[in-house]
Structure 1
């Protein structure tokens, strides 16, 4: 006979897993958005930068699937399924923890390597179409010029790339110094101002912003996983104890 306590835990766990399944979809969406963002400048990075969002997408997919295992195990009052559910949650929790530690360790190396890659890539701008397209893309999208500042291009070529010119700067850009007056842009017809900030700082800010999203989502889902493990183990223990008592 089902006790009141076990019935309560069972339906709490069932409701929890419905929320857990929805959170799995949220994790997949968050990982996909970050991965899409990173793809804009992945040419200048190695595959390690793609690791965290990919891990998040895979984790979200697994979370979505095993949430149904938890729901089914709770309704069927299956001790084995609930324990399997708890074990899977624990594995996911450990994987997320390992990915978080790896991302923290990699952060320092990434920044120095990223800057060197950008500097090396600039030298191939004129002779390599892939490099030219990649630089034009990030300078246009992130409103930047060069690695640290526009003068980086002067070390390579007397003229700036056209994508360093801001055709329609906003009043805010002018006030903050994001763009500056430049004769090259006027003569070239590409605009009236030159982007004054380098792309390294802009891209670093973007990466750090994405990392904050990943960390926030990771911490949130880890907290939910711990609750799920506790509830599943509690219900499994209650089921096992009641089965032993009824024999």
Structure 2
């Protein structure tokens, strides 16, 4: 029967889709962990919105894995309830992603301010427990020094050794243009974010289109199961 063959094809396509969807969930978890350790792990971020962003990414990844499980099981067992649950959850995730994208665009100008305040606060408490290591790690990773400029560390006329282009003990006491990084970390990281936002937007658009495809597969399979067609 032609319809039976078509439904069988949709069934396996949906199963493959959910496997790839599960991989995307794992990728989001990894990205969330990397963001957490890359920036938030090196600074005392006081803004809930900023500190919670990587955690939200991780949670979304976990939810996607949960949803992919429903999709795989529903497609394999031809369970109408599970396929319906998968479609509803996928639509909800899609709507949340749209809301997050809008919120990110609206609050994008606040990110620099939040990061600058957090960095300055950490600089002021540089000698406190853990702060020195946090600042040093960030300055080494991004090849920067200070918040807006290396002179933010003055007085005295010296900078942490992590500002040196070639780190060595007490190298920060020799403040010269050839010895230390001149640009502040806020500008460097802001530029880094702008350079990577296009990649992030492209990946997000690809995931959104991928999810729409999954919703279509689920709806077609739901219709086939409800109509009583054999899909095995």
Normalised TM-score (structure 2): 0.80
Other structure's SS at 1:58 match: helix
Other structure's SS at 1:145 match: coil
Contact 2:43 2:119 in 1 (8 A): no
Specify the alignment match of 2:145 in structure 1.
145
Specify the alignment match of 1:223 in structure 2.
209
Q: Whole-Å Cα distance in 1 between the matches of residues 66 and 45 of structure 2?
A: 35
Structure 2: gaps of 5 or more residues = none
Other structure's SS at 2:102 match: helix
Other structure's SS at 2:224 match: helix
Q: Whole-Å Cα distance in 1 between the matches of residues 34 and 227 of structure 2?
A: 46
Q: How does 1:100-111 map to 2 (within 5 A)?
A: 100-111=101-112
Contact 2:161 2:172 in 1 (8 A): no
Specify the alignment match of 1:36 in structure 2.
37
Q: How does 1:20-169 map to 2 (within 5 A)?
A: 20-44=21-45, 46-125=47-126, 128-154=128-154, 156-167=155-166
RMSD: 3.0
**1:185: how far off?**
1.4
Other structure's SS at 2:156 match: coil
Distance 1:116 1:54, change over 3 A: closer
Contact 1:52 1:214 in 2 (8 A): no
Contact 1:53 1:214 in 2 (8 A): no
Specify the alignment match of 1:172 in structure 2.
none
**1:214: how far off?**
4.4
Contact 2:47 2:114 in 1 (8 A): no
**1:45: how far off?**
5.2
Q: Whole-Å Cα distance in 2 between the matches of residues 158 and 93 of structure 1?
A: 53
Contact 2:148 2:183 in 1 (8 A): yes
Q: Whole-Å Cα distance in 1 between the matches of residues 157 and 209 of structure 2?
A: 55
Q: Whole-Å Cα distance in 1 between the matches of residues 93 and 8 of structure 2?
A: 27
Specify the alignment match of 2:16 in structure 1.
15
Normalised TM-score (structure 1): 0.76
Structure 1: gaps of 5 or more residues = 169-181
Distance 1:196 1:232, change over 3 A: same
Distance 1:68 1:234, change over 3 A: same
Q: Are 2:181 and 1:195 aligned?
A: yes
Contact 1:166 1:195 in 2 (8 A): yes
**1:111: how far off?**
1.0
**1:90: how far off?**
0.5
Specify the alignment match of 1:238 in structure 2.
224
Contact 1:52 1:99 in 2 (8 A): no
Contact 1:144 1:164 in 2 (8 A): yes
**1:26: how far off?**
2.2
Q: Which has the larger radius of gyration?
A: 1
Q: Whole-Å Cα distance in 2 between the matches of residues 45 and 214 of structure 1?
A: 24
Contact 1:66 1:85 in 2 (8 A): yes
Distance 1:4 1:183, change over 3 A: closer
